[in-house]
Amino acid sequence: MYRIGQGFDIHKLVKGRKFILGGVEIKYKKGLLGHSDADALVHAIIDSMLGALNLGDIGCHFPDNNPEYKDIDSLILLKKTYNLVKEKGYVINNIDNTLMVQEPKMKDYIPLMKEKIATILEIDKDLISIKAKTMEEQDSVGKKKSVSVFTTVLLKRGNNYEN
């Protein structure tokens, strides 16, 4: 049995914060604003997994008014979410992600993002697709005011994946 889920996240770019995406610190003049480390890629993956299992969204499990999650590394939240996936008897078949980032360019960071996420999710990095797009200077992303991410995950019942 398969279950599919989609995730989306958007965070504002501001001065004085680190820019963390996919568990990787990206050198840039601004960072993502949020209660946790504001890792929009990891948050979208979390939402996609929770959605696939009909378990609500990231805010239900890790509310932004809980001081326990203040500035937390989102990879910790990803691990907790993946444990829920395993408890429900599923594994990740594959994940497809699209980053909307006007700047900086993401291509040099994507391999490390895939490696970090794959390690947490106990899967081969080839099962994780990460594509980066600009918004052609349109909307808040294109005007360098925010970063957004769309994610789709396919879960498979069982205790191992096949690549």
pTM of this structure: 0.95
Amino acid 144: pLDDT = 92
Q: Which residues, in sequence order, are bridge partners of residue 131?
A: 98
Q: At what angle do helices 40-52 and 74-87 cross, to 10 degrees?
A: 10
Q: Could you give the domains of the chain?
A: 2-157 (3.30.1330.50)
**What is the tens place of the pLDDT at every residue in 84-117?**
999 999 999 999 999 999 999 999 999 999 999 9
**40: amino acid identity, one letter:** A
